Chains A and B, each alone.
Chain A
């Protein structure tokens, strides 16, 4: 029976996956094992997204199934050993922009891939990014934005990080609808990504995992 949940989740079979979890719990399966399977399933989803077999609806729906599985498992999981995280990533939609769908997908995928994500939300003032870097000691910052106005806000944020003397401590990635190589150069970021999987790859390249 091992691995069945991996398949059900990665094939986006919501009722079947939830039913499987119910039955497995009733039969005394270790919830940690189910959680492990669910995460493995999500890795497959991420891979299929990267291979363009899956698209945004599939990614978002898999997240919803995962959320429901975890909320079912939670009461059975022992609090104790929080999984070791790979590293901290600060993410936010830059000042003046309140778009969150792309940002949320990046947060979700980073989390699933074992990163600790500090999500600053939307319309984030530049100082808030600077403070978050200082307080968390994070080494990766992700800036999201959809509007042309976000190009300036991203540049301002990178500049503020530089002025605070923190630029050498962090790698900065940017992303959003119109973001390309040219915007990357304009803002002074280290890299840009087309989608959530690209963000995970960048983070993995920078701090391993």
Chain B
């Protein structure tokens, strides 16, 4: 008899998730119709290869993928601005990128995002092409203190209320009306219940809701186009492996709420409040990943790490402020049947011993400037290694440089399985022949005998 989801062990949940990936459905819920038996075989072989790597086993060969930034857009000869405003063109660029380079798995084309949507909501957290940066630059974060140092108690007590009434109106101009809304938890019983709804009758609030409807419609238009290409690529044998996104609690607070400088001040001036807030948002970060995975039916949850890298903080600071809640989020995702896919931007050499603490065969780590030989030695029996083809080599090197680097990676990090060849950091610019060399050479040289 089949076990209920809640009764399954973490291993059984992971297996069930991979079985789900191996029997993909179309948007109507029927079995996906592949365009050819070869496409179906390629799709399943890719998933199995990926699964073996996650479980630290050797497969038929080293899996290879490319996880780019704006590269597919630039490779297709369009600007980031065009990609953000012309969804069809953007989708075509990501499709061309996958079909030209043929990575084992792909990541969809949601990265550029819908430009019009950001305009409707008057998004202030980022500069995007034509709005604060040149049309040929990608979007870039405008760091600030969107949460004030004295607002920790608000965040800790009711994160959703803080987000809606304070944070969101600061980062979206069109959501100003949210500042007038009372907490939802005040809606209790007949007496007084109507009072809670009065703000919804006021013009600023109504304008905010109008903007939300418009933004939602725009987001739907965009995802319909992007999703269409994903479906098509799947029928051609290229699975989209991205199930969702969440963050390390320290980065959630440090990146966009308090900002880099703000959170650093808090580490010294109010460390206890910061630690309390990190704990308060941990279950929210877990829920964010699990929820996305349920929506997409895909267990791989991407987590870009920012402020815990080598040099960004001391070992002691890492163990105090960064790791405990990150570990809890990773643990919660695994418990919920997800596979955290953690991008350790920068170097993580000094953190490898700490990472060893994780359960074996349950996470993927994308390494940027981490020493892969050392990583294999210290955490090779614990985590699946991913990366670390340097962005500089992809842009400036030659195909021979790429092959030499890839050979070293396969011989060391790839030894015995548990390794996925890919770029180590998100890149926008590269020589196409270098990207091609990385994929083709891995398929040829990376065969496990």
Q: Does chain A bind chain B?
A: yes
Main secondary structure of the interface of B (DSSP, over half): loop
Flag if B268 contacts A180 (CB, 8 Å).
Answer: no
A178 and B313: CB pair below 8 A?
no
A156 at the binding interface (Cβ < 8 Å): no
Flag whether A98 is at the interface (Cβ < 8 A): yes
Report the separation of the CA atoms of residues A56 and B313 in the bound assembly, to the nearest whole angstrom.
6
A58-81 interface mask toward B, CB cutoff 8 Å, 1 = contact, 0 = none? 101100100000000000000000
**Cβ distance A146 to chain B, nearest Cβ, rounded Å:** 9
B140, B269, B345 — which one has the most chain A CB atoms within 10 A of its CB?
B140
Known contacts A61-B264, A148-B395, A183-B396; A178 and B390 CB within 8 A of each other = yes
CB of A157 to closest CB in B, whole Å: 15
Once the chains bind, are B140 and A99 in contact (CB under 8 Å)?
Answer: yes
Tell me whether A55 and B313 are in contact (CB under 8 A).
yes
Query: Complex formed: what's the CA distance from A119 to B264 in Å?
Result: 23
B392's partner among A61, A97, A183 (CB-CB below 8 A) is A183
Judge whether B396 and A182 touch: CB under 8 Å.
yes
Asked if A151 and B312 make an inter-chain contact with CB atoms under 8 angstroms apart, the answer reads no
A57 B392 Cβ-Cβ under 8 A: no
The answer to whether B377 has its CB under 8 Å from any CB of chain A is no
- Asked if A14 and B269 make an inter-chain contact with CB atoms under 8 angstroms apart, the answer reads yes
Residues of B within 8 A of A179 (CB): 392
Tell me, yes or no, whether A114 is within 8 Å of chain B by CB: no
Shortest A92–chain B CB gap in Å is: 15
Interface residues on A, range: 20 to 34
B433 at the interface (CB under 8 A from A): no
Shortest Cβ distance from residue B196 to the other chain A in the assembled complex, whole angstroms: 42
In the bound complex, residues from chain B placing their C-beta under 8 Å from that of A138 are none
The residue on B at minimum CB distance from A195 is B311
B140 touches A182 (CB 8 A): no
Residues of A within 8 A of B429 (CB): 148-149, 151-152
User: Are the C-beta atoms of A60 and B261 separated by less than 8 Å?
Assistant: yes
Residue of B nearest to A12 (CB): B268
Whether B317 lies near A57 (C-beta < 8 A) is: yes
Q: Quick one: which of A12, A149, A178 contacts B137, CB cutoff 8 A?
A: A149
Q: How far apart are the CA atoms of A123 and B138 in the complex, in Å?
A: 13
Closest beta carbon of chain A to B133's beta carbon, Å: 6
- The complex places the Cα of A70 from the Cα of B342 at a distance, in Å, of 42
Give A75-109 as 1s and 0s: 1 = Cβ < 8 Å from B's Cβ atoms: 00000000000000000000111111100000000
> Which residues in A have their C-beta under 8 angstroms from that of B314?
54-55, 57-58
Q: Is B158 an interface residue (CB 8 A)?
A: no
- B428 adjacent to A149 (CB under 8 Å): yes
A79 and B266 alpha carbons, distance in the complex (Å): 34
Give chain B nearest CB distance to A186 CB in angstroms: 5
Which chain B residues (358-409) contact chain A, with CB distance < 8 Å? 390-393, 395-397
Given that A64-B265, A101-B143 are known contacts, is A148 also in contact with B428, CB under 8 Å in the complex?
yes
Which residues in chain B, 130-157, are within 8 Å of chain A measured between CB atoms? 132-134, 136-138, 140, 142-143
- A128-161: which have CB < 8 Å to B? 147-149, 151-152
Contact A55 B311 (CB under 8 A): yes
Closest-by-CB residue of A relative to B401 is A182
State A195–B392 Cα separation when bound (angstroms): 18
Q: Which residues of A contact B85 (CB under 8 A)?
A: none
Query: What residues of A have a CB within 8 angstroms of the CB of B430 in the complex?
Result: 148
Residue contact A55 to B395, C-beta cutoff 8 Å: no
Q: How large is the interface on B (under 10, 10 to 19, 20 to 34, 35 or more residues)?
A: 35 or more
Interchain CB contact under 8 A, B425 and A178: yes
User: Is A177 close to B, CB under 8 A?
Assistant: yes
**Which of chain B's residues have a CB closer than 8 A to the CB of A12?**
268
CB distance from B316 to the nearest CB of A (A): 10
Provide the bound-state CA to CA distance between A58 and B69, in Å: 31
- CA separation between A55 and B310, bound complex, in Å? 9
A58 CB contacts on chain B under 8 angstroms: 314
A96-B265 contact given A55-B313, A148-B391, A148-B395, CB 8 Å threshold: no
Task: Write the chain A residue with the least CB distance to B80.
Answer: A149
B427 within 8 A of A: yes
Q: Tell me the complex Cα distance, A195–B346, Å.
A: 13
**CB interface residues, B 15-44, toward A, < 8 Å:** none
Partner of B396, one of A95, A149, A186: A186
- Which A residues are in CB contact (< 8 Å) with B138? 147, 149
Whether A98 touches B428, Cβ cut-off 8 Å, given contacts A12-B268, A182-B393, is no
Complex alpha-carbon distance, A46 and B136, angstroms: 38
Which residues of B sit under 8 angstroms from A56, Cβ to Cβ? 264, 311-313
Given A123-B133, A149-B428, residue A98 in contact with residue B127 (CB < 8 A): yes
**Chain B residues near A178 (CB-CB < 8 A):** 390-392, 425
Contact between B396 and A151, CB atoms less than 8 A apart: yes
- A-side contacts of B312, CB under 8 Å: 55-57
**B288 contacts chain A at the CB level, 8 A cutoff:** no
Q: How far is the CB of B74 from chain A (nearest CB, A)?
A: 9
- Select which of A54, A98, A152, A195 is within 8 A of B133 by beta carbon: A98
Cβ contacts A172-194/B at 8 Å (1 or 0 each): 00000111101100100000000
Contact B391 A57 (CB under 8 A): no
Residues in A neighbouring B313, C-beta threshold 8 A: 55-57
Q: Could you tell me the distance between the alpha carbons of A147 and B261 in the complex, rounded to whole angstroms?
A: 21
A-B CB contact pairs (8 Å), 10 listed: A55-B312, A57-B267, A57-B268, A58-B314, A61-B265, A64-B265, A95-B134, A99-B140, A148-B69, A182-B397
**Interface positions of A (Cβ within 8 A of B):** 12, 14, 54-58, 60-61, 64, 95-101, 123, 147-149, 151-152, 177-180, 182-183, 186, 195
- 7 more A-B residue pairs beyond the given contacts A55-B311, A147-B137, A148-B69, with a C-beta to C-beta distance below 8 A: A55-B312, A57-B267, A57-B312, A61-B268, A148-B428, A151-B392, A182-B397
